[in-house]
């Protein structure tokens, strides 16, 4: 599996483009002003300080994994520091998701896969006026995330704990529409396709769906291709680590691979 992942990464590097190879004005602007904006932001500092605290937290939690699990550590009892090292999105990716949220300026944000809450914090800080709902399957990691939210003084985040398959449809049902959805959990083909299909009745022209780990496995790659081919999808951006899905009406269907 690791060999296939490395092979896919190298292939992506050779076939993807920078902003200068992108002919779509929308994707060029997105790449130039959002994806490749590596300037420091004040919001990053407190969240990265919290990440460092997690790296030094050697307390143990019992992990309940309802998804596809981890390639790195299959033990059920793990140190918080191990989870922080192996499971958290690295700063470069977490900050990209922050910029994507800030650029999209959604009224509501849904995240599937809270983990320890670092990416949730980035989403909260990116759009302080948005309602952020984040869902975590593991009660003990959710407790750590909740503590992080308190220490970062985040007041626009609602943390729900339980099975995505049960909670996500309820969250969608209550929403008038879906503005920004980040799916980072249960990396199985059918689950990913189900989550996408559940979102469709509530997406609109300004919606952004982000799928994490689209090269995680053969099944995830197949799920990504199926999502791309859906007639409601007009633009996708494949950044290898994550895939962006847009529903911009009146725009020709195009798929982009961007180096990141």
- Residues 216 and 220: their CA atoms lie apart, in Å, by 6
- Indicate the pTM of the whole model: 0.94
pLDDT in tens, 43-76: 999 999 999 999 999 999 999 876 655 444 455 8
pLDDT of residue 67: 60
Q: Please, are residues 239 and 99 in contact by the beta-carbon 8 Å criterion? A: no
- Residues 133 and 216: their CA atoms lie apart, in Å, by 25
- Residues 101 and 132: their CA atoms lie apart, in Å, by 11
pLDDT in tens, 124-137: 999 999 999 999 99
- Residues 63 and 75: their CA atoms lie apart, in Å, by 8
pLDDT in tens, 144-192: 999 999 999 999 999 999 999 999 999 999 999 999 999 998 889 999 9
Percent of the chain exceeding pLDDT 70 equals 96
Percent of the chain exceeding pLDDT 90 equals 88
What is the average pLDDT score of the chain? 94
pLDDT in tens, 95-145: 999 999 999 999 999 999 999 999 999 999 999 999 999 999 999 999 999
**Neighbour tally for 212: CB within 10 Å:** 22
| All residues at 6 or more sequence positions from 110 whose CB lies less than 8 Å from its CB, including other chains | 132, 133, 134, 135, 168, 171, 172, 175, 178, 180, 181, 182
pLDDT of residue 239: 98
pLDDT of residue 75: 57
- Taking each helix axis as running N to C, give the angle between helix 118-126 and helix 139-151, from 0 to 180 degrees, rounded to the nearest 10: 40
Average pLDDT over residues 204-213: 98
DSSP annotation of 116: T
């Amino acid at each position: 599996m690791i060999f296939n992942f490395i092979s896919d990464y190298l292939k992506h590097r050779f076939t993807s483009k920078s902003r200068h190879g992108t002919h779509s004005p929308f994707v060029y602007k997105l790449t130039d002003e959002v994806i490749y904006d590596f300037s420091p932001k004040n919001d990053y500092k407190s969240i990265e300080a919290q990440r460092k605290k997690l790296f030094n937290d050697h307390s143990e939690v019992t992990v309940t994994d309802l998804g596809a699990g981890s390639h790195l550590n299959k033990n059920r009892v793990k140190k918080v520091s191990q989870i922080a090292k192996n499971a958290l999105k690295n700063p470069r990716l977490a900050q990209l998701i922050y910029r994507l949220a800030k650029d999209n300026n959604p009224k509501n944000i849904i995240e599937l896969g809270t983990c320890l809450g670092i990416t949730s914090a980035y989403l909260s800080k990116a759009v302080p006026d948005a309602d952020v709902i984040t869902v975590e399957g593991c009660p003990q990691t959710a407790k750590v995330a909740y503590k992080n939210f308190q220490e970062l003084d985040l007041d626009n985040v609602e943390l729900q704990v339980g099975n995505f398959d049960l909670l996500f449809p309820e969250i969608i049902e209550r929403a008038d529409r879906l503005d920004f959805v980040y799916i980072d959990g249960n990396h199985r083909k059918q689950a990913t396709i189900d989550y996408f299909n559940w979102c469709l009745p509530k997406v609109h022209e300004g919606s952004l769906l982000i799928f994490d780990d689209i090269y995680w496995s053969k099944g995830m790659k197949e799920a990504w291709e199926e999502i791309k081919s859906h007639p409601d999808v007009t633009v996708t951006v494949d950044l290898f680590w994550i895939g962006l899905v847009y529903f911009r009406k009146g725009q020709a269907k195009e798929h982009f691979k961007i180096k990141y």
